[in-house]
Amino acid sequence: MITISVIVCTYNQERTISRTLDAIISQQCDVTFEVIIGEDCSTDNTRAICKDYAEKYSSIIRLMPKAPNKGIVDNYYDCVREAQGEYIMECGGDDEWCQGRIQLCYDTIKSNPDVVQVFTQMYFRKDNTHEITEPDNNLFPFGLIKGADVIDGMMHQKSGQMALYAITRRSAIMDVMHKYPQFFTGRRYLTEDRQLIVLLATIGDFINLPDRTYYYTIDTSSITRGKLTKHLRYNKNMLRLTHDLAKAIGYRGSLLPYYTHTVLIMCRLILSKTLIKLFPFSHH
């Protein structure tokens, strides 16, 4: 019987996917787990590497069938639907787990039956220099967090990465997927995690641990390398997603501060790109 299903969504990450998978399968723990790889029609060698791992570790790793590019939402939640574990964990194809992550997360959620999800902290690692930092931008206090407080925090998140969700009850995920199917399929949204956290917060509480159990890769691509459209599209998506979530759950708090902050970010991005074009010598 499988206790935990670890989902790894990956796309064009041939340089990092081996590191990711090695860190997962080497976890020392007293629970059974499987790894489900959602490889999203990469144009590089990522799928071949994943296939080698699935063949070498066939008792642990399952590679989802090859399919046309799905996007992050369908890729991730198709993996969730295939999962056999009681709990779900995830790892990006360019990220890396610290040893002991599975055991810590499992012990925490197992001993707190009313909790639907557990957060941990992370390290940041730059993809170009591999510089590692310990960010101090945790959105939530440590310990038990009521669902209503999680909703408020997510709806008013102003900057930085929130605590990384580490383990979730699969039954709770399936409950919100059934109740709010519009958030878990298609390409309307560019992220898979924000809607999950907010909707889970309508049915249960959370725990936020101070432990750093994850190396999160920071994409250092800048708007000077043609990424402006990508950044603007992401922020526009977050505005749409926040609006849709608030409507779906009947959220009554004010979203004006969040909207204002996000629009200002978009304006700064555009201004920065314009200044760099006018004064290219200022960016080195």
**According to the model, what pLDDT value does residue 267 have?**
84
Single pTM value for the model = 0.90
CB 50 within 8 A of CB 37: yes
Q: Is the dihedral of CA 189, 232, 43, 219 positive or negative?
A: negative
Helices 256-278, 228-249: inter-axial angle, 10-degree rounding: 170
Tens-digit pLDDT profile for residues 162-210: 567 799 999 999 999 999 999 999 999 999 999 999 999 999 999 999 9
Residue 167 to residue 89: CA distance in whole angstroms: 5
Tens-digit pLDDT profile for residues 79-134: 999 999 999 999 999 999 999 999 999 999 999 999 999 999 999 998 888 899 99
Bridge pairing between strands 205-218 and 4-10: unpaired
Residue 223 to residue 255: CA distance in whole angstroms: 27
Query: Which residue blocks in 40-145 are alpha helix, DSSP H?
Result: 46-56, 72-82, 101-110
Tens-digit pLDDT profile for residues 20-69: 999 999 999 999 999 999 999 999 999 999 999 999 999 999 999 999 99
CB 193 within 8 A of CB 164: no
Q: Is the dihedral of CA 168, 174, 178, 181 positive or negative?
A: positive
Tokens representing 8 are 């790894």
Tokens representing 14 are 């041939």
Amino acid 37 reads I
Tens-digit pLDDT profile for residues 210-257: 999 999 998 765 444 447 777 788 888 888 999 999 999 999 988 887
User: Closest Cα partner for 108 from 33, 207, 196?
Assistant: 207
